[in-house]
Structure 1
Amino acid sequence: MGACAAVFVATTLRLRAMRAEQIRETFLEFFERRGHRRLESASLVPSVYDPSVLLTTAGMQPLKPYFRGEEEPPARRLTSCQRCFRTTDIDNVGRTARHLTFFEMLGNFSIGDYFKREAIEYAYELSTEGFGFDPERIWITVFGGDPALGLGPDEEAIEYWRGVGIPEDRIVRLGRDDNFWQAGPTGPCGPCSELYYDRGPQYGADSERPGDDTDRFLEFWNLVFMQYELHPGDRLSELPQRNIDTGAGLERLAALLQGVPSVFESDLFRPLVELGEELSGRRYGEDFRVTRALRIIADHGRGATFLLADGVVPSNEERGYVLRRIMRRTVLQGRVLGIDRPLLEPLYERVIETMSGAWPYLRDERSTILRWARTEEQNFARTIEQGRDLLEELIARAKREGASEIDPEDAFRLHDTFGFPFELTRELLAEEGLSVDEQAVKRLMERAREVARRGASKAGTAAERRERAAELARASGAASRFVGYERLATDTKVLGSADHDGQLLVKLAESPFYPEGGGQVSDTGLLEGEWGRARVLDAIRLPDDQVLVCELLEGKPPSVGAEVHAQVDEERRRRTMRNHTATHLLHAALRRQLGSHVRQAGSYVGPDKLRFDFTHGKRLGRDEAEEIQGLVNAWVEQRLPVRAFETTREEANRLGAIALFGEKYGDWVRVVEIDDVSRELCGGTHVASSAEIGLFEIEAETSSASNVRRIEAVTGPAAAALFARRSATLARLSELLRVPEQELVSAVERLQRELKEARKRAQSGDGRAQAERIVASAQRRDGTAVVVEAVEGLEPRALVDLADAVRQKLGRAVVLLATTVEGRAHLVASVAPELVDVGLRADQLVREAAAAIGGGGGGRPTMAQAGARDAARLAEALEQGRAVIERALS
C-alpha cells in the first residue's frame, strides 16, 4: 500500500458513521445551539406570490421575502432542512454519482446579522467536529475575481479560511461562473465559497482539483455571501444589509459520512434500489444500463412521492407535467429491467416506509399518493400500447422503403399527439436497427412549446402595477393595518398615493378592504375626504401589506396625511362571504363523498359565483353531483356556526385543518371552522352561520386540466334565480311535450328512441344507395379495390355499417370513409383479412389518418374507427390515409 493510500485509509476512521436522520439532526441542532431559529420545510409547491419557479429549488427560496426586506423574519438567524426539486439535472440522474431531482437541502441563514467570518467558522467547526471530516481532506473554492464586475479575489473569505486552518494550497480560486452567485441578470448577488471533500486517489488523479470534471472532489456545502446589488451593465453597489445563505445537500453528506461511492448506496436510497432488485431479479452494479435504471427508479420514486404529497397531480401542464414525466420515466426504466408488474405503487409505498420518520406527512397522504400511482401507471400502459402500434407501422414502412431512419415529424407526432415518450421511440428504433434525427425532433418540440407559450404571457400592466404598488408601500414606511374582519368602514389617514397609468394607487394606515388572495376577489368601495372622492377598484395584496387601486371621481388625489373615510361595498362583500363559506362546505363534501385524495387545485370566490378546482381522475356521475349538492344544502339547513381563530401551525395541524395548495403560512395561522364539518387555514371573509348561505346550487361540473375537475356553483339569491330558470325550462318542456313534469324524462327517452329508429330507417335506404355508388366508383390497384371518400349525413354507427357493406361487396378491398358530426371528424376503415396479412391494417390506417389533424383512434386490424376535433381539416386526414394505403400497396 502506498503512503498516500495509507493516509486516506487512516483518516477515513475520523468520519462519524451517521445515518441520514442523524446527519439532519446534527446539522439543525448545531445551529439551534448558536441562536438559529429552526424552520419547517416549505412545500415543494412555491407560494402563489412567487411565480418565478414551478417548484422549490433551494433552501433560501421560501425565505426570499426576508432577504428582500418585504417581510419581517421570525428571527435574524435561521436554519432549515428544505425539500427541493430540480429538473435541470434530470438527464444526468443515474449517470453520475451525485445528480438528483429531489433532495434535502440543509442550510443556515443570516438576515442582516453575521457575515463571512462566522459563516466560515461555523461551517468548518461542524464539518470537522460535528461530522468528523478530516481537516486535511477539506478543500475550499473561493471567488477569484472578475474584470467585468470590477472585483478582485475574495480576499476577506480567503483570510478567514486561512484563519480556521485551511492552507493556501487547498484554497482554489474560481471565476464568476463557479463562485459568484446571482439571483438573475439583476438583483442581490455576491461571492461564494464551496467546501469539497477529497475522496482519495481511487476516485481520480493527484493532479485534479475542485472545479475539475472529476469524482475525486465532492462538493458538500456552499456558502453564499450576499453583499452586492447587480445593476444593468454589470454595475455593482453595496447592499444596505448583508446576508448569508448556505446549502449542504443531505444526500451528499450521507454518501461521504457512510463511506459509499455514490449517493445511491447511502441509506436514503438503498431500500429503494433493493426493491428494484427484488422486482426485476437484476443486481445493482452488474452493468451500467441496469445500475442507471435502478438509480433513476430510486430518485424518481422519491421525487414523485413528495410531489404527490405536496398536492401536485399528474397532468400535461407545468408542475403536473414534471410529475407525469418522472412517473412515466420510472415505468420506462422498469421496462429496461424487465419488470412486468405494477411498479409505482410498491415503490412509493417503500418511500413512505423509509422516509415518513423524518417527514410524517407522507404517512398522512399515503392513500392519495398510492391512488395516483395506480391511476397514472394504468393510463400510461394504454398510451404505450397505442403508441407501439403506430411505431410498428412506421418501422415497417421504413423497412419496406429501405430507409435507415423514420421521419422526425412522425416521431414528434407520437410524442405530441399520443404522449408516447421519445426516449422509448429511440430505444425501439435502435432495436430494429433504425434511428431518427434527434435534433430535428427537439426543434419540433421547442416549436410546440413556443406555440404553447404564445398568448400565455399576461399583459405586463398587472405586474407593473403590482411593482409600482410595492414601491409605494416601501416608501410609506409602515404597513396598512387590515380591519376588514371587524368592520366595513373606517376613518383613517393616507400613508401614500401615486399615479400609475391613469389609475390612482392609495395606501391607508387602516384598511377595511380585503385584498385579493386565497381565491377570494378583493373588496371594492369608496374613499371620501375633503380632497374629493375615489372609487376603489381593487386591493393589491403585498407581503404583510396592501395598496388600493382607485379611480378618482371628484377633486384631486389625496396627499400623505390626508384624512379619509373608507367604505367597503357591503352587498358585494356579503355575497362574496356566502360563496366563500359555501366553497369550504363544498370542499368538505367532496372529500367526504369521493375520498381524501381530493385537494383544492384552485378557486375563484366572487360576489357572482364560486368556482372550485379539485384533484380527481374522472368526471362526477349525476348521482355523485346530486349527493354532494344535497350534503352542502343539508349543512346549510343545520345553521352550523362559523368561527375564525388564530393558533399555531402545529396546533392547526393537530386539529386537522386543511392547508391551501400553494399558499405560504407562518408560525401563526388563521383557521376557519364550520362546526365539526370543516377546518381550513384561510385568511378570507365568511358568514357567521351556514344558514346565511341560503341555498347552494351546482351550475356545472367540467374538466379543468388532466386529473383536475371544476365545479361552478351559486348561492343565495343567485341560486334561487338559477332554480327559477331551471323550473321555467321544465315547465316550457312540459308544455311543448304535453306531459306532466314528472314524466319528462321518460318522454324524452321515448323521443330519443323514436328518433334513432327513424334515422336508422332513413339511413338504411340512403346507405344502400350510397354503398352502390361508392362500390361503382372504387379504384383498382393490382387486384385490390381502394376507397377513400367523405360522405355526408351519417352518424358514426351508420358510417361503420356503410364501410363494412362496401368492403363486403368489393371483396379484396381497403375502405376509408369519413364524415363530420357536430364539428367533429369521424373516420372508419375496413380492410380485407388478406390485406392485413401483407401489412395493411385498419387500426394503423385510421390512427395515422386522424393523427394528421390532431386526432386518434384504434380498433381491430380489419375494422377501426378514429376521431378528431378539427372537422375543417377532414380532407387532410383522407389524404394522409390515401398515402398510407399507397405505401402499403406499393
Structure 2
Amino acid sequence: INRPFLTELVDTVIESSEAGYPELREHEAYIKKVIGTEELRFGRTIDAGLNILNGMMSHLKEVHEKVLSGAEVFKLNDTFGFPLDLTREIAAEAGLVVDEAAFHVEMTKQRERARAERLAKDISGWSADLFGELTAEATQFDGYDTLSESAKVIALSDGEELADAIATDEAGESKDGVLVVLDRTPFYAEMGGQVADHGYITNGDAKLKVTQVKKTPKGYFVHTCELLDGTIHVGDEVTASVDTQRRMAICRNHTATHLLQKALREVLGEHVHQAGSYQDDKLTHFDFTHFSAVTPEELRKVEDRVNEKIFEALPVTIQNLPIEEAKKMGAMALFGEKYGSVVRVVDAGGWSTEFCGGTHVTNTAQIGCFKILSESSVAAGIRRIEATTAYGVLNLLDERTEQLAKTAVALKANNLKDAPARAEALTAELKETNKQLDILKAEMASAKIDGLFENAADIDGVRIVSAYLTGTGADTLRDMVDKVRDKAPNAVTVLIGSDGSKTMMAVGVSKNAQARGLKAGALVKKIAAIAGGNGGGKPDFAMAGIRDTSKIDDALNAVPEVVKAEMQ
C-alpha cells in the first residue's frame, strides 16, 4: 500500500466497538482527522529519517565499517521518531548491522531520566515511602466552601522520614521542606491543571508558610511548608488559612478557561477539545485540538466572545450530578478521561457547561476582563493559547504603556500619539541613507578592484586577485568578485572580508580560468581550511566562513600554490 489508508479502518473499528465505547461515534470526525494527520506526519518522518540514515550508512561505507552506532540509532529514534525495527531492516539490506546492545543502554538511560523528571514533578514517588503506611482517614477537602478553618495535624515529615515534631533550629532560622498532613484542609491540591493554594498554617506556637499542596494516592493532602517560627507537633490543633487574593485570581483564570474553550468551539468548530490546561494566579494556558494556526482574526473573535460573556455577568453554578444526567445537560468531558458515577459540573449561565473539580468564581463578571497573550503549536495537531484576566490585563496595559512611552522618547516623538508617524519618518530616512551607503560602497569597491589588479600575480596565464578587506560584508564581497570576473576572463579572485560580526571568504573563477580546470567550490574548500573554515559553491562562485582570523594571511599566501595544484 503506497498511500495513507488507516482512516479507512476507523469505520469498522467504531462499528465493532461503539456498544462499549459510545463516545467513539460521537468523536468520529475528530478521530479520523487525528489519525489521518498523524499518518501523514509519520510519512514525512520516515522520509526525513531515511535521509539521515542514508548519510550514516554512506559514512560507514567510506570508512569501511559495518556496525551502526547504538547511540546514533537511538538519536534517530528519540529525536526523529524513526523506529528501531525499520532501521534494522534498512541496515540489513545494505549489509550493515545495528549495535542494539548500545541502543538499549541509551534507551534505559532515557527512561531513567524521564522517570526522575516525573518523580520531581509528582508526589506519588515519595508519598509511597513517607505516607503510605498512614492508617488515618483521608484528608477532607473543604476549600470549595471555606478558605480558613481549624484542623488537626495527623502526620509530619522533614522530607526524609516521618517525625512527631519539627522545630526551627537553635538560631531561630526557618526550616524549608516541612511536610504537613491535616485531617481536613481548605487548601486546593495541585490537580487538573490548577495550581495549589498558598497560605499559612498556624497555632499558638508555630507558623508555617504553605508553598505547595499535593494529594497522595491514598487521599492525603500533603502541604509543603516553610516553618517560619516555633515547633509543630503531630496532634496539634491548627488554623489553616488560604491566601484569599491568590485563590481568587486562580478562580478567575480557571473560569475564563472554561469560557475560552466554549468560544474556541464556536469560532473554530466542534472538533476543538481540551488537550491540557494550566491555571495559576497570573495566567492560563489552554491546549486544544486544532490542525492549523489560529488566525489573528479568529483570535480576536474568540477574545471578544469571552469578554462578551464576562460583561453579561453570567451566574456560575456548581452541582454534583449523576454522570448520565450531566451528559444530558451537554456538559463537556475530557475525551478519554475516566469519571465516576457522580461528577462535578460547572455551569456558566447555561452557555459553558463542563465536568471540573477546580475552583471558580460565582459570577463571570468577577473575571473583570480577558486578554489573549499568545497562540502557538505545542505538538502535532495541538495548539496552545496563553491568556490572562483582571489584574493581569491591567498589569499588561501598564507594561505596554511604559514600553510605548520609552519608545516615543527614543524616537524623539512629542507624545505617544506622534510615535507611529515619527517611526515611519525615521524608517524612510534610514532606507534612503542605506541606499546612499550602498552606492558609496559600490564606488569604493570599484576603486579597490583597480588597485587589486596592479598587484595581481600571474600563474601560467591566470591572474590571481586576492586581498583581505576590513569593514566588508558578504554582499559587498560577492559584488566585487562579480566585477573582477566580468573585467578579467582569465582571473581567480579570492577576497576575505569582515563586517565586525563574522569573517567570510569569497572565491570567483572567470570563464577562461574555468577552462583550465579551476572550480570555485574546490578552491574555497582548500583555501578556507587553512584558516579553519569550510564552505562550497558553484564552479564560478563560492563562499566560506572563516573561524581562525589569525590564519587569514596564511590562507591568502597559499592561494597561488593551491591554484597551481588545481590547474590543468
State TM-score, norm by structure 1: 0.46
The alpha carbon displacement at 1:524 in A equals 2.0
The 1:554/1:865 distance shift into structure 2, 3 A limit, reads same
Counterpart Cα distance in 2 of 1:631 and 1:494: 46
SS in 2 for 1:658: coil
SS in 2 for 1:584: helix
The 1:428/1:438 distance shift into structure 2, 3 A limit, reads closer
Counterpart Cα distance in 1 of 2:269 and 2:385: 16
Q: Is the 8 A contact 1:387 1:414 kept in 2?
A: no
The 1:717/1:786 distance shift into structure 2, 3 A limit, reads farther
Aligned pair partner of 1:549 in 211, 224, 238: 224
Superposition map of 1:234-249 within 5 A: none
Look up the match of 1:42. none
Aligned pair partner of 2:159 in 487, 500, 505: 500
Look up the match of 2:347. 673
Counterpart Cα distance in 2 of 1:665 and 1:567: 30
Look up the match of 2:257. 583
The alpha carbon displacement at 1:671 in A equals 1.8
Counterpart Cα distance in 2 of 1:603 and 1:829: 55
The alpha carbon displacement at 1:641 in A equals 1.7
Look up the match of 2:315. 641
Look up the match of 2:533. none
Counterpart Cα distance in 2 of 1:816 and 1:453: 53
Aligned pair partner of 2:401 in 716, 720, 727: 727
What letter corresponds to residue 159 of structure 2 in structure 1?
H
Counterpart Cα distance in 1 of 2:365 and 2:220: 33
Counterpart Cα distance in 1 of 2:421 and 2:348: 41
Look up the match of 2:9. 350
The 1:650/1:759 distance shift into structure 2, 3 A limit, reads farther
Structure 1 residue 438 corresponds to structure 2 residue 101: no
Look up the match of 1:188. none
Counterpart Cα distance in 2 of 1:719 and 1:682: 25
The alpha carbon displacement at 1:672 in A equals 1.6
What letter corresponds to residue 369 of structure 1 in structure 2?
I
The alpha carbon displacement at 1:383 in A equals 5.9
Counterpart Cα distance in 2 of 1:778 and 1:424: 57
Look up the match of 2:201. 527
Superposition map of 1:767-806 within 5 A: none
Superposition map of 1:202-281 within 5 A: none
The 1:518/1:383 distance shift into structure 2, 3 A limit, reads closer
SS in 1 for 2:259: helix
The alpha carbon displacement at 1:483 in A equals 0.9
Aligned pair partner of 2:24 in 358, 362, 370: 362
SS in 2 for 1:513: coil
Superposition map of 1:409-428 within 5 A: 415=76, 419=80, 421=82
Superposition map of 1:83-122 within 5 A: none
Aligned pair partner of 1:484 in 128, 143, 147: 143
The 1:754/1:495 distance shift into structure 2, 3 A limit, reads same
Counterpart Cα distance in 2 of 1:509 and 1:586: 36
Q: Is the 8 A contact 1:504 1:557 kept in 2?
A: no
Aligned pair partner of 1:512 in 186, 193, 213: 186
Look up the match of 1:27. none
Look up the match of 1:567. 241
What letter corresponds to residue 27 of structure 2 in structure 1?
E
Look up the match of 1:693. 367
Q: Is the 8 A contact 2:470 2:499 kept in 1?
A: no
SS in 1 for 2:307: helix
Counterpart Cα distance in 1 of 2:220 and 2:288: 29
Q: Is the 8 A contact 2:71 2:106 kept in 1?
A: no
Counterpart Cα distance in 2 of 1:819 and 1:794: 6
Q: Is the 8 A contact 1:697 1:714 kept in 2?
A: yes
Q: Is the 8 A contact 1:645 1:671 kept in 2?
A: yes
SS in 2 for 1:500: coil
Q: Is the 8 A contact 2:91 2:97 kept in 1?
A: no
For residues 170-211 of structure 1, the C-alpha deviation after alignment (integer angstroms, 9 at most, x for no partner) is xxxxxxxxxxxxxxxxxxxxxxxxxxxxxxxxxxxxxxxxxx
For residues 845-869 of structure 1, the C-alpha deviation after alignment (integer angstroms, 9 at most, x for no partner) is 99xxxxxxxxxxxx99999999xxx
What letter corresponds to residue 28 of structure 2 in structure 1?
R
What letter corresponds to residue 343 of structure 2 in structure 1?
V
Counterpart Cα distance in 1 of 2:383 and 2:498: 29
Counterpart Cα distance in 2 of 1:826 and 1:451: 40
For residues 778-824 of structure 1, the C-alpha deviation after alignment (integer angstroms, 9 at most, x for no partner) is 999xx9x999x9998758x8898789888888989999999999999
What letter corresponds to residue 438 of structure 1 in structure 2?
V
Q: Is the 8 A contact 1:476 1:496 kept in 2?
A: no
Counterpart Cα distance in 2 of 1:430 and 1:745: 64
Superposition map of 1:308-387 within 5 A: 334=1, 339=2, 343-344=3-4, 346-359=5-18, 360-376=22-38
The 1:620/1:821 distance shift into structure 2, 3 A limit, reads farther
The 1:806/1:407 distance shift into structure 2, 3 A limit, reads farther
Look up the match of 2:131. 472
Look up the match of 1:627. 301
What letter corresponds to residue 365 of structure 2 in structure 1?
A
Q: Is the 8 A contact 1:526 1:568 kept in 2?
A: yes
The 1:807/1:724 distance shift into structure 2, 3 A limit, reads farther
The alpha carbon displacement at 1:762 in A equals 3.4
SS in 2 for 1:478: coil
The alpha carbon displacement at 1:693 in A equals 0.8
SS in 2 for 1:576: helix
Q: Is the 8 A contact 2:370 2:390 kept in 1?
A: yes
The 1:559/1:690 distance shift into structure 2, 3 A limit, reads same
Counterpart Cα distance in 2 of 1:370 and 1:745: 48
Aligned pair partner of 2:279 in 595, 601, 605: 605
Structure 1 residue 716 corresponds to structure 2 residue 378: no
Superposition map of 1:755-834 within 5 A: 755-756=430-431, 758-759=433-434, 761-763=436-438, 766=441
Q: How many residues align structurally?
A: 513
What letter corresponds to residue 701 of structure 1 in structure 2?
E
Counterpart Cα distance in 1 of 2:299 and 2:56: 44
SS in 1 for 2:134: helix
Counterpart Cα distance in 1 of 2:34 and 2:138: 43
The alpha carbon displacement at 1:421 in A equals 4.5
Structure 1 residue 593 corresponds to structure 2 residue 261: no
Identity of counterpart residues, as a percentage?
A: 32
Q: Is the 8 A contact 1:398 1:404 kept in 2?
A: yes
The 1:616/1:718 distance shift into structure 2, 3 A limit, reads same
State TM-score, norm by structure 2: 0.68
The alpha carbon displacement at 1:459 in A equals 9.2
The alpha carbon displacement at 1:462 in A equals 6.5
Q: Is the 8 A contact 1:429 1:435 kept in 2?
A: yes
The alpha carbon displacement at 1:529 in A equals 2.9
The alpha carbon displacement at 1:572 in A equals 1.3
Counterpart Cα distance in 2 of 1:579 and 1:549: 24
Q: Is the 8 A contact 2:413 2:422 kept in 1?
A: no
The 1:412/1:694 distance shift into structure 2, 3 A limit, reads same
Of 656-665 and 669-678, deviating more is 656-665
- Alignment gaps of 5+ in structure 1: 1-333, 847-858, 876-887
What letter corresponds to residue 99 of structure 2 in structure 1?
Q
SS in 2 for 1:557: strand
- Alignment gaps of 5+ in structure 2: 161-174, 526-536, 550-565
